[in-house]
């Protein structure tokens, strides 16, 4: 399986990305599901790092991509002005079928914009969503969106729920996953107009919607899939990731701190590798800019699982089923949230 890897940097540095990718490649060679990484970035730099890691550079495919996408680059500028960047070229190759999946630890907005521009959205999906695992006892829960769509409509939240439910059922083997809408209270009338209308649409859907959930329910297992806007979701996961760092700063010298840190290991993004971009026509995994080699390694394996599970097809079927049920109960809603609304 050929997986495109963004090895251009600047965060994390190319040597970290390449090291993690090589760890996944070496481990996968021992199984029947071999990973063939295709590196995108400045070719001379990539070849030098491969040599330093003890590998023969000519054994790996390297696609020269000299344009470097910075963390503060505007996504629309990347796809129009930095077409020779690792992100744009990798997504273009994914669109043509030259690679099976794409893994990037770079600029999230640039990856999302490139995926929308070159892969396109799945049919019946108006906006993509980034899905991140939520630690809990047993299989993880799922939180979406965590950064792809900051200002969704209520119809988008319904689509997120459909994609999240399909993902949880296929990947985490959760039968008929419970879907919750993140809100400021559990009552149906709570929240702004977006939340109230999303509640009504989810209530009429064929999904196992349990109603509103609050911030304190994130890690309890009350809901298997929790839906929210990208701005809220991104804020939540970054807050969760900051907790171990805060504790290390405050009580890191205490003798019991290592045990506490072990109990909080599930909040470490490196354990999961990255978030999955749902709603575009191809497997895309986006990791954290602070990722180490271990997180990159896990992201490669996660991308492989998305391809093997045929996630794109499953999502198409799930979203169509939910939207069809919504149309049957709300015949005038076909004008809302259409394929062309985003």
Q: pLDDT tens-digit profile of 136-155?
A: 777 789 999 999 999 999 98
Mean pLDDT score across all residues of the chain: 87
Structure tokens given for 219: 């890690």
Check: CB of residue 162 under 8 Å from CB of residue 129.
no
Confidence of residue 123 (pLDDT cuts 50, 70, 90): confident
Per-residue pLDDT of 304-317, as tens digits, reads: 989 988 888 888 88
Does residue 333 register a pLDDT over 60? no
Q: Are residues 324 and 300 in the same domain?
A: no
* Bond preceding residue 261 cis, omega within 30 of 0: no
**Dihedrals φ, ψ of 227, to 5°?**
-110, 140
Q: Are residues 196 and 291 in the same domain?
A: no
Q: Please tell me the distance from the alpha carbon of residue 22 to that of residue 25, in angstroms, as a whole number.
A: 5
- The dihedral region occupied by 15, where left means phi > 0, alpha psi between -120 and 50, and beta the remainder, is alpha
Q: Are residues 322 and 202 in the same domain?
A: yes
Q: 293-308 and 14-28 are packed helices; what angle lies between their axes, rounded to 10 degrees?
A: 50
Q: Please tell me the distance from the alpha carbon of residue 61 to that of residue 35, in angstroms, as a whole number.
A: 12
Q: Are residues 140 and 248 in the same domain?
A: yes
Structure tokens given for 172: 């985490």
Over the Cα atoms of the chain, what is R_g? 20
Q: Please tell me the distance from the alpha carbon of residue 222 to that of residue 141, in angstroms, as a whole number.
A: 9
- Report how far Cα 335 is from the mean position of its chain's Cα atoms: 29
Check: CB of residue 327 under 8 Å from CB of residue 334.
yes
Q: Rounded to whole angstroms, what are the CA distances from 160 to 51, 129, 203, 207?
A: 43, 6, 14, 11
Q: Please tell me the distance from the alpha carbon of residue 51 to that of residue 285, in angstroms, as a whole number.
A: 26
Of residues 11, 10, 86, 101, the one with CA closest to residue 42? 86
Check: CB of residue 2 under 8 Å from CB of residue 38.
yes
What is the structure's pLDDT at 266?
Answer: 65
Q: Are residues 234 and 148 in the same domain?
A: yes
Q: 14-28 and 43-52 are packed helices; what angle lies between their axes, rounded to 10 degrees?
A: 60
Q: Are residues 246 and 300 in the same domain?
A: no
Q: Are residues 181 and 216 in the same domain?
A: yes
Q: Are residues 224 and 337 in the same domain?
A: yes
Q: Are residues 128 and 244 in the same domain?
A: yes
* Bond preceding residue 10 cis, omega within 30 of 0: yes
Per-residue pLDDT of 44-55, as tens digits, reads: 999 999 999 999
For the chain, the domain total comes to 2
Q: 154-171 and 311-329 are packed helices; what angle lies between their axes, rounded to 10 degrees?
A: 140
Host domain of residue 15: 1-120+280-309
Confidence of residue 164 (pLDDT cuts 50, 70, 90): very high
Beta strand 178-182 with 208-213 is parallel
234: domain CATH number is: 3.40.718.10
Q: Please tell me the distance from the alpha carbon of residue 84 to that of residue 73, in angstroms, as a whole number.
A: 14
Q: Are residues 25 and 166 in the same domain?
A: no
What is the structure's pLDDT at 329?
Answer: 56
Percent of the chain with pLDDT over 90: 58
Q: Are residues 92 and 215 in the same domain?
A: no
What is the structure's pLDDT at 330?
Answer: 59
Q: Are residues 132 and 221 in the same domain?
A: yes
């Amino acid at each position: 399986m050929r997986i495109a890897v963004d090895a251009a940097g600047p965060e994390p540095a190319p040597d970290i990305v390449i090291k993690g990718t090589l760890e996944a490649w070496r481990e996968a060679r021992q199984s029947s599901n071999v990973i063939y990484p295709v590196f995108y970035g400045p070719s001379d730099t990539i070849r030098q790092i491969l040599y330093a890691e003890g590998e023969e550079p000519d054994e790996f495919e390297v696609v020269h991509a000299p344009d470097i996408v910075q963390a503060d680059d505007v996504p629309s500028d990347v796809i129009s002005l930095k077409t020779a960047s690792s992100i744009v070229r990798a997504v273009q190759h994914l669109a043509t079928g030259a690679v099976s999946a794409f893994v990037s630890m770079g600029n999230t907005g640039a990856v999302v914009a490139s995926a929308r521009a070159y892969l396109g959205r799945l049919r019946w999906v108006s906006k993509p969503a980034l899905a991140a695992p939520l630690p809990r006892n047993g299989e993880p829960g799922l939180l979406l969106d965590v950064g792809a769509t900051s200002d969704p409509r209520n119809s988008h939240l319904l689509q997120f729920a459909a994609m999240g439910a399909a993902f949880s059922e296929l990947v985490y083997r959760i039968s008929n996953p419970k879907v919750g809408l993140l809100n400021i209270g559990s009552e149906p009338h709570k929240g702004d107009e977006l939340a109230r209308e999303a509640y009504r649409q989810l209530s009429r859907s064929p999904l196992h919607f349990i109603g509103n959930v609050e911030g304190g329910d994130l890690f309890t297992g009350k809901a298997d899939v929790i839906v929210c806007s990208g701005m809220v979701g991104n804020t939540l996961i970054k807050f969760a990731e900051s907790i171990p760092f805060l504790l290390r700063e405050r009580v890191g010298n205490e003798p019991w701190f290592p045990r506490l840190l072990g109990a909080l290991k599930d909040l470490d993004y490196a354990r999961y590798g990255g978030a999955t971009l749902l709603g575009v026509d191809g497997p895309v995994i986006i990791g954290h800019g602070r990722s180490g080699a271990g997180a990159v390694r896990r992201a490669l394996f996660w991308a492989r699982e998305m391809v093997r599970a045929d996630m794109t097809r499953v999502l198409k079927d799930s979203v169509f089923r939910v939207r069809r049920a919504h149309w049957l109960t709300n015949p005038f809603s076909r004008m809302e949230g259409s394929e062309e609304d985003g």
